[in-house]
Amino acid sequence: MASLALSFRAKEKNCFSQSSYLIEFAFYAFAVYKENLKEVKEELNEVGKLIEDLLTRQSDLLEKKKSLEQIIQEHNETSKNVNSDWSKEDFPWSEELNTTLKDVFKLDKLRPMQLQTMNITMAGKDCMLIMPTGGGKSLCFQLPAVLSKGITLVVSPLISLMEDQLMALKTLDIDSTTFNSNTSTADAKTIQTAMTDPNSTLKLLYVTPEKLAKSKRFMNKLEKMYEMGRFSRLVIDEVHCCSQWGHDFRPDFKFLGIMKRQFPTVPILGLTATATLKVLDDVKNILNIPHCQLLRASFNRPNLYYEIRTKPSSFSDTMTEIKTLIQTRFSGQSGIVYCFSKKDCEEVTIDLQKNGIPTGCYHANLTGPERSRVHEKWSKGKILVVVATIAFGMGIDKPDVRFVIHHSISKSIENLYQESGRAGRDDKKSCCIVYYRLADVFRQSCMVFTEQTGLKCLYGILAYCLNVKRCRRSMIAEHFGELWDSSHCNGMCDHCDPNSVCKYFPQSNMTTHCRNILLILQQAAETDQKLTALKLIDAWFGKGPASLRVSDIKEKNITVEKAEKIIGFMLLNDYLKEEFHFTAYTTISYMKHGKARLNCSKE
């Protein structure tokens, strides 16, 4: 603006007529207004961005407010149920319940929430129980099943879960069985006869949701069983699978929505260890039990030690570290190693076996008898380690599991909590270790991005792994909507343990690092090139095709490990986003600019 004024004054001295002066003045005024208009537009653009940010922030705060109000309401409801008449021991069935607990189940006392849950379901009321893995959810329906006339139908998502519970029930001499895709024709006929036989001693019948959804004959038998008054209750284990907002949605679980309409007087008992408030509300609506009794135990397992480790870049280095852990820290002890794929399972199993560690492999491609054999040998201590996909472990009841190691990250906080919760059911100290590497995030993202909340759940576990200061338990509590004081961790996570040495996330020059990454992406976009995270890091370190390198970016003495964490940070904060492309054989994740703004000008 000043330069325009000086220019005008200089020209004013040389003007010889009023008309030429006016013309010059008009040009000058036009330039001034044009400049002002440009400034106003730029300011309006900035104000628009600020308004957009504030509206987003307002939306986030309103959602958080609603969540906190729900937590308080749920806490009050749970406290009311816990402290209400449901905790009494003067019901008509109370004496028999205590006798059966000791004589049949060989237990001296109940755990928190178990008595209230049993009383609610024995009274014929609908109930939802959220209890941590290892808290004793199975007993909440198995004991009432023994006391009740007729049959308790248990819907479970995995055959391995059923097998584990049936093995335990068999040792207690409780008549129970399963009806699934592996059931022979002869066994199916025997089971269906028992369902409508008033003299049958069958107490627990386990089925998969697929069997309910796809077998009209079985549903007809259920209707007959109901008419005869032999359908005592419906139990839905892992009830979060009903909701598409959950981490493990299964379409056939939605079929269970008709059960309340078909069998209105049959009480429903839903069980889960992992349900957020949104999932819980959705499940109630799907099952048509909006006013069911709600019981929620604390998520906290005080005997579990949570730890995150950086995964070495090579398979052999990773296995060397895991083998050392098993042979020293967990020598002679039982554990589980979870892997991302069936191929990973087989490779890890072979490597452990070669080093003299008694190990079994468990995944969906193995035959049913082979999976059962591995499960039984591990349960009896004949092998120490099971290497498995997530197909293994839901509902297992082996008390002395001393470690759960994740060879790669889980796909959500819910999955991590559930899988790690299979350790330490005897209440003794056990360790839950996750090996984190950015490459595993992209292996998962290419699998889950089509799910309703797939990427959101995955980025939740990414944030959990990258955080360098917060108590691990406080992060899990926040995810599940529970208030938590991190001082109660008692040093049982790698951030609260005074003897732990954590590798902290790099804070210095973060803006510079982020700017450099965005400049590389900007240059790639200008030349119509796509970058995976690996190619992006290579370009950042001056490797790979010259066309992807930005000349004025110099590597700042940063390790690849730290570079991966910075890219993870940028994904979490929306400076970067994943864009997925399909090929004939696979899905590829490319890095793109996110919505968050960062000045990446080259000047």
| pLDDT, tens only, 6-28 | 454 555 555 445 666 666 666 66
Q: Which is more confidently placed, 276 or 329? A: 329
Per-residue DSSP letter, 557: S
User: For residue range 58-73, what is the model confidence (pLDDT) as tens digits?
Assistant: 777 776 676 666 666 6
What are the DSSP calls for 123-158, one per residue? Answer: TT--EEEE--TTS-TTHHHHHHHHHSSSEEEEE-S-
pLDDT of residue 603: 40
pLDDT of residue 371: 84
- Percentage of the chain modeled with pLDDT above 70: 86
Q: Per-residue pLDDT for 481 more than 80? A: no
- Contact residues for 132 (Cβ-Cβ < 8 A; gap 6+): 273, 297, 298, 299, 300, 301, 417, 421
pLDDT of residue 76: 61
What are the DSSP calls for 420-440, one per residue? Answer: HTTS-TTSS-EEEEEEE-HHH
Computed over every residue of the chain, the mean pLDDT equals 85
Q: Per-residue pLDDT for 286 more than 60? A: yes
Query: Using 50, 70 and 90 to split pLDDT, how confident is the model at 80?
Result: low
Query: Using 50, 70 and 90 to split pLDDT, how confident is the model at 507?
Result: low
pLDDT of residue 271: 92
Of 414, 411, 357, 416, the C-alpha closest to 387 is 357
Q: Per-residue pLDDT for 360 more than 80? A: yes
Of 11, 106, 109, 137, the active-site residue reads 137
Q: Which of 162-171, 312-321, 444-453 has the highest mean pLDDT?
A: 312-321
Averaged pLDDT for residues 423-430: 91
Coil vs helix vs strand at 593: strand
Averaged pLDDT for residues 120-127: 96
Query: Using 50, 70 and 90 to split pLDDT, how confident is the model at 602?
Result: very low
pTM value is 0.73
137 catalytic residue (yes or no): yes
Q: How many C-beta atoms lie closer than 10 Å to residue 251's C-beta?
A: 12
- Six token digits for residue 412: 């959500």
Q: Which of 13-22, 211-220, 310-319, 551-560 has the highest mean pLDDT?
A: 310-319
pLDDT of residue 601: 47
Query: Using 50, 70 and 90 to split pLDDT, how confident is the model at 246?
Result: low
Q: Which is more confidently placed, 501 or 15? A: 501
Q: How many C-beta atoms lie closer than 10 Å to residue 342's C-beta?
A: 17
Q: Per-residue pLDDT for 577 more than 90? A: yes
Q: Residue 146 class from Cβ within 10 Å (0-12 exposed, 13-18 middle, 19+ buried)?
A: buried
pLDDT of residue 396: 65
